[in-house]
Amino acid sequence: MSDKGSEDQAKLAKDTRPTYSSIDEPSVADLIVRGMPGLRISDGRPASAQPNRSGRKTARGSKLNVLSRAIRVPETLAIDFGDTFVVVQIGQSDHRRTFAVHENLLCASSPQLKKRLREIPVEHNQKQLSLDCPDPGAFALYVQYLYTGQIPSKPTSVTASNEYTTLCKLYILAYDFEDIPAQNAACDATYAKAMESNGDIQNSLPQREHIDIIYSGTSSPCAARRLLVDLYTAYAKDEWLSTHTETLPQQFMGELALNLMKHRAAWLSHIIGSKEQYHKNMSSEQMFQTG
């Protein structure tokens, strides 16, 4: 094989992980269900989590994306979904929703769920699981990600629910499930939304309620916390910060201050002026009295 061929093969095999990842090694389910690392779609962006679809339409008529990815993969990458489903009950009373998910897929994705499912008996190829999840929509999004490798959270209208709220709740769910690839995907989606600001990213940042969701549901170190801090370090306005200082989580404020000091550039040294800059001006009357 030529040197150029070896270089091309090495580039294709190179792992393109998210910037705000919590781990370096993807799970088996991440490799099989969510796509192969190193593949790229038509605009050159990494396609680390893309479904096996090629322009067909779903039963509901929604068109699936055409992707430039290999349709044939090694047989060793086949995943055994098994024949046991987990019937998952989410929510309370009128807001309760039911989901049916392959047990093998849940176990391959979430160590926490795997432990719980070990203790549940199988009846008629099913296991019953009730989860204390305050938002069934977040779990629905999680199931979508498990099966397709995509997060269908992008609003289709201006009246759609807040996408940042949805993505933050998805991250917390994946955090509780110990599903690190799903955490990384939620961070990627949050990052992508922030960058879709049409040049006005300062007014498109996650807001106080989104920061509250992440900081109340996680502990440091945390990739989602780091993403929020970095976004505010780079783009936040001082007016916004001064308005919300009293209501923002103190941990966020502390990490933001440290991050600002860490990334303070040498060219900012001009902020420090002469010693007279820090003098309080005296009125003419005061000057006369002291004279």
186-228, pLDDT tens digit by residue? 999 999 998 887 667 777 889 899 999 999 999 988 999 999 9
pLDDT band at 50 (very low <50, low <70, confident <90, very high): very low
- The backbone torsions φ and ψ at residue 274, rounded to the nearest 5 degrees and listed phi first, read -70, 165
pLDDT at 3: 52
Average pLDDT, integer, range 59-85 = 71
188 torsion bin: left (phi>0), alpha (psi -120 to 50), beta (else): alpha
> What pLDDT shows up at residue 62?
44
Look at 192 and 11; give whichever has higher pLDDT: 192
Q: Which residue has the higher pLDDT, 237 or 68?
A: 237
More confident call, 57 vs 200: 200
Report the alpha-carbon distance of residue 288 to residue 102 in Å, rounded: 86
**Quick one: pLDDT at residue 135?**
86
Distance of alpha carbon 91 from alpha carbon 120, whole angstroms? 20
Within 13 Å of residue 19, how many CA atoms lie on the same side as its CB? 11
With beta carbons less than 8 A apart as the criterion, state whether 259 and 233 touch: yes
Share of the chain above pLDDT 90, in %: 40
Residue with tokens 């897929």: 105
Is pLDDT of 58 > 80? Answer: no
Answer whether 49's CB lies under 8 Å from 69's CB.
Answer: no
- Averaged over 123-143, what is the pLDDT? 91
Q: What is the DSSP string of the chain?
A: --HHHHHHHHHHH-----TT-S-SS--HHHHHHS--TT-B-TTS-B-SS--S-BS-B-TT-PBPPB----S---GGG-----S-EEEEEESSGGG-EEEEEEHHHHHHH-HHHHHHHHTSPPBTTEEEEEE--S-HHHHHHHHHHHHHS------SSTTSPPHHHHHHHHHHHHHHHT-HHHHHHHHHHHHHHHH-STT-GGGSS--HHHHHHHHHH--SS-HHHHHHHHHHHHH--HHHHHHHTTTS-HHHHHHHHHHHHHT--GGGGGGS--GGGGPPPPPHHHHHHH-
Strongest mean pLDDT among 127-136, 197-206, 265-274: 127-136
Give the pLDDT of residue 160.
46
In this predicted structure, the answer to whether residue 19 has a pLDDT above a threshold of 80 is no
Instruction: Give the pLDDT confidence score for residue 247 in this predicted structure.
Output: 84
**Residue 242's pLDDT band (cuts 50, 70, 90):** confident
| 56-60, 98-102, 240-244, range with the lowest pLDDT | 56-60
Mean pLDDT of 164-182: 95
180-195 vs 223-235: helix crossing angle, rounded to 10:
10
Count other Cβ atoms within 10 Å, centred on residue 215: 20
CA-based R_g, the chain, Å: 25
